[in-house]
């Protein structure tokens, strides 16, 4: 019985006729070991022990070939050379006179290993191909043998036909299917002649054999080999090639000679020589008439090749199993190296992209979007998405939808719903999406160029375009910022690259109107739309000049108004906030909903404030009375809320007034932690006592619904910009001491003992100071602004700070926004009063003989500093 270790040649076939032909050419047959299936045939050709394997019946393609190759290596561990032998579709051309029955041998050339893998998708006339990989070169012994036999055949011809005839004599049962068919059946049709899908298998009947349909070829002479052997590139794929146009395209581009379906599966499993007998022309005129003879021709060539290879040449080859083990290790190392390099490269690219995006704009409004969507009551706003106006806007390019609405109607939540909807619908399809939330508290940060750069930042993700990189590099190198027109130009180039683009803007009315800021921005985005396909969605209060701008471009208008259904959903979703006795009174709930919706008059904000108004009622009778007394309009609601605040316990009332003072009159939005620390500062103390820090939930709860916190950004703010307008307008009555209280807090904080060490000598120390002292930055930057509006500008607390060299230098180091510098002691008290425009404090210092000619770190006198900052009175 055969020993699997004795076999050094592996021969793989794909289908039954190939297997029959291979077995027929064995010089002797060996008995299979008991454990070996009938898919293997063992024997000898010349002096070589050969193991022949065939794919399981009904299995084709590269994956099946790979499985058989792996199984062969496991069963026959000493195989050193591999052969893939069988039939294929020929690619005749003017350069290669390939005919049925000819043989194609894969040989390396033009950077290819002899076989390329391709992927068609669908192999129908008119499709294109895509190369996916190439097969490694065959073992050296086989390549040398091919070179030798090729030269011998060129000189002396071959006897392959005689070999085939000898087999047919020895095995008469093979004559019918495995000998050469009638040469007249070898018909090559023009590539545009396609066999009818439902036509008969006989091409003569379905396609005819008239000369106009055929490529006529001369009859081969006695001086020409028949069959001929062709050496070159074989294309291998998982689908049968039946398209003459693609066949000829490959022939022209890659000089492909043959198509087949298994060899590429051996690329990483079985380095081998591929030999194919031509049974058709890889077109739609396929039939099985030539399969048997083509398989015999390929097998005959393979036998003649093997007989010419000395055993020592084969034994000198490494075992395929060992080669692949080493290759796999190298490939693993290579892959790991590439992965590590790519990871580092990608990390560098990501960091560079992030630097560019942050340089464009510090924010994307993503945190605001998340916060607003988190406040949305489920199901609200669907009327907007379902409206004909919105559907028309989202369904076509270059559309503008303007949605005006009264204050408190829910415009911001509506915008967040639109942003979310557009993101869900278009983000994965490669469309450009950008949005803005204008905010009256951030007007200094929302200049026209700032807004355009924020849009550009969003459009530039995830892969920063080259035009944006160039903009960054040009200005980063010179430490400059781009001009407005530069930003417009780059934004246009980026948006033009998107198949569809969307810009959504909330609260245009909160964008500053003075100085032409708002009109310049609107003009820029309308100009962008005129040159691209961008869609624009915008909300605003119904302000005439804004409405006229949208009318001028023929924008579609749709009013945002809180629908009764949406307000009802909001009330239902917040019933749990009311005292528990309400939940057991369904009739009252219906009465309450009707009363709130009626009083709100289309203002979502009023519905929210009315719900806050009812929260404090202690029984059903009080709540019913409250429903009869619901304030009408925002001012009445705000007035009622302030009365509720003042009627609380004194500690709660004081906490609420201080909270509203800070949030309303702070120079910039505060984080929750900054506000907590500000409220914890006590007069006449030298340090912050953390026991005096109040929970943020309590701070919000004492403010009667007028204060909220954005959970994503941690910014604490008033519930609506109309709240700000009301508190500013009524400051004398509602928050009369706001700036004085804030000034006391800031100056007390800057006078803490921790700042008695003066300036920080290095960047790390300054960073640590900022991190450890939460209110330090705000207090240093803004105390003078509040002092200028207070009644204690020249008071003892302020003067002590201005006259303390250490505390003053610690303050000025942060105030002037420097990373760190050792000359902050040059900032005298007079410099600081000039910087902030504190006329009374400056006079007080001059009265104490302050040096008016002293110079700061940049050689500026107090007078020049005052002039530079526009403080003429100083």
Residue 873 predicted with pLDDT over 80: no
pLDDT band at 73 (very low <50, low <70, confident <90, very high): confident
Confidence of residue 178 (pLDDT cuts 50, 70, 90): very high
Same domain, 484 and 522: yes
**In DSSP terms, which residues pair with 750 in a beta bridge?**
none
160 shares its domain with 86: yes
Average pLDDT over residues 835-846: 85
pLDDT at 393 (0 to 100): 97
pLDDT value at 601 more than 50? yes
DSSP assignment, residue 735?
S
- Asked if residue 459 and residue 370 are part of one domain, the reply reads yes
Could you tell me where the DSSP H helices lie in 629-702?
A: 634-646, 650-665, 672-680, 696-701
Range ranked top by mean pLDDT from 52-61, 123-132, 721-730: 721-730
| Cα(579)–Cα(619) distance, integer angstroms | 8
State the Cα–Cα distance between residues 633 and 813, nearest whole angstrom. 47
In a domain, 502, yes or no: yes
Model confidence at 579, pLDDT cuts 50, 70, 90, reads confident
Least confident of 234-238, 300-304, 471-475, 485-489: 234-238
- Whether residue 123 has pLDDT greater than 50: no
**Quick one: pLDDT at residue 119?**
60
Q: Is the pTM of this model over 0.85?
A: no
What CATH number should be reported for the domain holding residue 443? 3.40.50.300
Note the pLDDT tens digit of each residue in 682-729: 999 999 999 999 999 999 999 999 999 987 788 999 999 899 999 999
| Residue 187 resides in a domain | no
Residue 430 lies in a domain: yes
**241 located within any domain:** yes
Q: What are phi and psi of 138, to 5 degrees?
A: -65, 165
pLDDT: is 60 or 499 the higher one? 499
User: Which of 369-378, 662-671, 706-715 tops mean pLDDT?
Assistant: 662-671
The verdict on residue 128 lying in a domain is yes
Task: Note whether 668 and 798 are same-domain residues.
Answer: yes
Measured in whole angstroms, the distance separating CA 295 from the mean position of its chain's CA atoms is 52
Whether the per-residue pLDDT at 124 is higher than 50: the answer is no
16: domain CATH number is 3.40.50.1580
Using the predicted structure, report yes or no on whether residue 325 has a pLDDT greater than 80.
Answer: no
Residues 582 and 613 grouped into a single domain? yes
Predicted pLDDT of residue 136: 62
pLDDT of residue 266: 67
Residue 780 lies in a domain: yes
In whole angstroms, what is the distance from residue 257 CA to residue 692 CA? 87
How many CA atoms, within 13 angstroms, populate the side-chain half-sphere of residue 115? Answer: 30
C-alpha to C-alpha distance for 370 and 348, rounded to whole angstroms:
29
What pLDDT is attached to residue 196? 67
Determine the pLDDT at residue 203: 67
**Are the C-beta atoms of 553 and 588 separated by less than 8 Å?**
no
| Same domain membership, residue 588 and residue 498 | no
Say if 399 falls within a structural domain: yes
The 3-class secondary structure across 177-241, one letter per residue, is HHCCCCHHHCCCECCCCCCCCCCCCCHHHHCCCCHHHECCCCCCCCCCCCCCEEEEEEEECCCCC
Supply the pLDDT for residue 331.
Answer: 47
**Which has more confidence, 133 or 447?**
447
In a domain, 205, yes or no: no
Residues 464, 339, single domain; the answer is no
Contacts of 391 (CB under 8 A, 6+ apart): none
pLDDT (average), residues 290-314: 94
pLDDT, greater one: 293 or 134? 293
Shared domain check, 533 and 658: no
Q: CA-to-CA distance for 412 and 405, rounded, in angstroms?
A: 10
In this predicted structure, the answer to whether residue 326 has a pLDDT above a threshold of 70 is no
Confidence category of residue 130, pLDDT binned at 50, 70, 90: very low
Confidence bin at 61 (pLDDT 50/70/90): low
With a pLDDT cut of 70, the percent of the chain lying above it is 89
pLDDT mean over 759-763: 85
Residue 27 neighbours by CB distance under 10 Å: 14
Given 536, 561, 586, which residue is the final one in a domain? 561
Mean pLDDT in residue range 766-783: 93
Q: Looking at the structure, tell me whether residues 257 and 372 fall in a common domain.
A: no
Beta strands in 81-136 (DSSP E): 81-90, 103-106, 115-119, 130-134
The dihedral region occupied by 705, where left means phi > 0, alpha psi between -120 and 50, and beta the remainder, is: left
Q: Domain ends where: 513, 537, 561?
A: 561
Low-confidence winner among 252-261, 724-733, 861-870 (lowest mean pLDDT): 861-870
Domain boundary residue among 630, 656, 677?
630
Q: What is the mean pLDDT of residues 556-574?
A: 90
Mean pLDDT comparison of 198-207, 410-419, 629-638, highest-scoring range: 410-419
pLDDT > 60? residue 583: yes
Longest dimension (CA), the chain: 130
Q: Nearest 5°: CA angle at 403, between 400 and 408?
A: 155
b/e burial code for range 168-177 (CB count within 10 A of at least 16 → b): beeeeebeeb
Q: Is the peptide bond before 820 cis (omega within 30 degrees of 0)?
A: no
Domain limits for position 618: 565-630
Cα 768 from Cα 766, distance rounded (Å): 5
User: What's the pLDDT score for residue 441?
Assistant: 77
How far CA 452 is from CA of 85, 114, 360, 448, 460, in Å, comes to: 66, 56, 9, 6, 12
Residue 443 shares a structural domain with residue 550: yes
Q: What is residue 825's predicted lDDT score, i.e. its pLDDT?
A: 59
* 520 plus 611 within the same structural domain: no
246 against 290, higher pLDDT: 290
Lowest-confidence pick of 113-122, 425-434, 596-605 = 113-122
Question: What is the predicted pLDDT for the residue at 264?
Answer: 65
Domain co-membership, 749 together with 855: yes
Work out the mean pLDDT of the chain and round it to a whole number. 86
- Are 269 and 70 in contact, with CB atoms under 8 Å apart? yes
Number of folded domains in the chain?
Answer: 5
Quick one: average pLDDT of 867-873? Answer: 69
């Amino acid at each position: 019985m055969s020993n699997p270790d004795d076999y050094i040649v592996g021969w793989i076939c794909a289908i039954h006729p190939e297997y029959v032909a291979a077995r027929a050419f064995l010089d002797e047959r060996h008995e299979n070991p008991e454990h070996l299936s009938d898919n293997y045939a063992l024997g000898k050709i010349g002096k070589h022990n050969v193991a022949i394997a065939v794919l399981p019946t009904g299995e084709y393609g590269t994956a099946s070939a790979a499985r058989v190759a792996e199984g062969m290596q496991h069963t026959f561990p000493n195989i050193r050379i591999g052969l893939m032998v069988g039939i294929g579709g020929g690619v005749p051309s003017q350069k290669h006179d390939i005919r049925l029955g000819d043989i194609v041998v894969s040989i390396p050339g033009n950077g290819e290993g002899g076989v390329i893998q391709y992927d068609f998708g669908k192999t129908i006339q008119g499709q294109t191909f895509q190369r996916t990989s190439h097969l490694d070169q065959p073992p050296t012994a086989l390549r040398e043998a091919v070179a030798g036999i090729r030269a011998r055949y060129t000189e002396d011809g071959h006897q392959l036909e005689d070999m085939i005839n000898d087999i047919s004599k020895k095995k008469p049962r093979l004559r019918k299917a495995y000998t050469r068919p009638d040469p007249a059946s070898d018909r090559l049709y023009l590539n545009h002649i396609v066999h009818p899908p439902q036509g008969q298998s006989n091409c003569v009947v379905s396609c005819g054999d008239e000369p106009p349909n055929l490529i006529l070829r001369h009859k081969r002479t006695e001086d020409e080999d028949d069959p001929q052997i062709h050496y070159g590139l074989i294309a291998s794929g998982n689908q049968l090639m039946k398209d003459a146009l693609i066949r000829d395209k490959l022939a022209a581009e890659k000089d492909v000679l043959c198509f087949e379906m298994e060899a590429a599966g051996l690329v990483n499993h079985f380095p081998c020589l591929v030999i194919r007998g031509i049974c058709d022309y890889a077109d739609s005129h396929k039939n099985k008439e030539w399969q048997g003879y083509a398989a015999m021709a390929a097998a005959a060539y393979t036998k003649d090749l093997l007989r010419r290879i000395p055993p020592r040449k084969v034994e000198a080859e490494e075992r395929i199993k060992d080669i692949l083990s080493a290759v796999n290790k190298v490939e693993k190392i290579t892959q790991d190296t590439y992965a590590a390099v790519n990871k580092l490269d990608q990390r560098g690219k990501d960091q560079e992209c992030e630097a560019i995006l942050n340089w464009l704009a510090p924010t994307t409004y993503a945190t605001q979007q998340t916060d607003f969507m988190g406040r949305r009551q489920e199901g609200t706003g669907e009327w907007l998405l379902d409206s004909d106006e919105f559907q028309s806007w989202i369904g076509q390019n270059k559309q503008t939808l303007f949605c005006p609405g009264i204050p408190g109607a829910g415009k911001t939540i509506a915008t967040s719903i639109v942003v979310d909807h557009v993101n869900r619908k278009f983000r994965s399809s490669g469309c450009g999406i950008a949005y803005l939330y204008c905010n009256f508290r951030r007007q200094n940060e929302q200049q026209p160029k700032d807004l355009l750069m924020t849009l550009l930042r969003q459009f530039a993700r995830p892969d920063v375009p080259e035009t944006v990189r160039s903009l960054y590099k040009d200005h980063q190198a010179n430490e400059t910022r781009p001009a407005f027109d530069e930003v417009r130009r780059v934004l246009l180039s980026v948006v033009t690259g998107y198949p569809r683009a969307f810009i959504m803007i909330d609260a245009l009315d909160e964008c500053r109107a003075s100085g032409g800021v708002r009109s310049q921005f609107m003009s820029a985005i309308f100009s962008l739309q005129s040159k691209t396909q961008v869609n624009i969605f915008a909300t605003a209060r119904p302000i005439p000049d804004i409405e006229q701008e949208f009318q001028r471009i023929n924008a579609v208008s749709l009013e945002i108004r809180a629908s009764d259904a949406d307000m009802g959903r909001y009330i239902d979703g917040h019933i749990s906030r009311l005292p528990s006795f309400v939940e057991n009174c369904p009739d009252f709930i219906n009465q309450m909903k009707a009363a709130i919706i009626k009083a709100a008059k289309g203002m979502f904000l009023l519905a929210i404030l009315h719900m806050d108004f009812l929260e404090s009622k202690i029984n059903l009778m009080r709540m019913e009375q409250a429903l009869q007394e619901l304030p009408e309009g925002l001012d009445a609601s705000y007035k009622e809320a302030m009365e509720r605040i003042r009627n609380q316990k004194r500690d709660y009332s004081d906490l609420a007034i201080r909270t509203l003072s800070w949030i309303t009159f702070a120079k910039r939005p505060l984080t929750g932690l900054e506000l907590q620390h500000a409220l914890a500062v006590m007069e006449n103390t030298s340090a912050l006592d953390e026991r005096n820090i109040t929970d943020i939930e309590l701070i919000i709860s004492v403010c009667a619904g007028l204060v909220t916190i954005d959970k994503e950004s941690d910014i604490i703010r008033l519930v609506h910009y109309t709240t700000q307008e009301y508190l500013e307008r009524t400051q004398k009555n509602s928050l009369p001491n706001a700036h004085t209280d804030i000034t006391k807090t800031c100056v007390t904080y800057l006078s803490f003992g921790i700042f008695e060490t003066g300036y920080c000598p290095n960047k790390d120390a300054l960073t640590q100071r900022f991190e450890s002292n939460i209110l330090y930055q705000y207090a240093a930057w803004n105390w003078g602004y509040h002092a200028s509006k207070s009644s204690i500008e020249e008071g003892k607390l302020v003067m002590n700070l201005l006259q303390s060299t250490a505390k003053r230098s610690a303050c000025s180091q942060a105030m002037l926004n420097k990373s760190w510098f050792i000359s902050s002691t040059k900032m005298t008290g007079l410099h600081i009063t000039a910087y902030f425009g504190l006329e009374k404090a400056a006079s007080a210092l001059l009265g104490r003989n302050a040096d008016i000619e002293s110079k700061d770190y940049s050689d500026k006198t107090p007078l020049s500093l005052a002039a530079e900052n526009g403080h003429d009175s100083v």
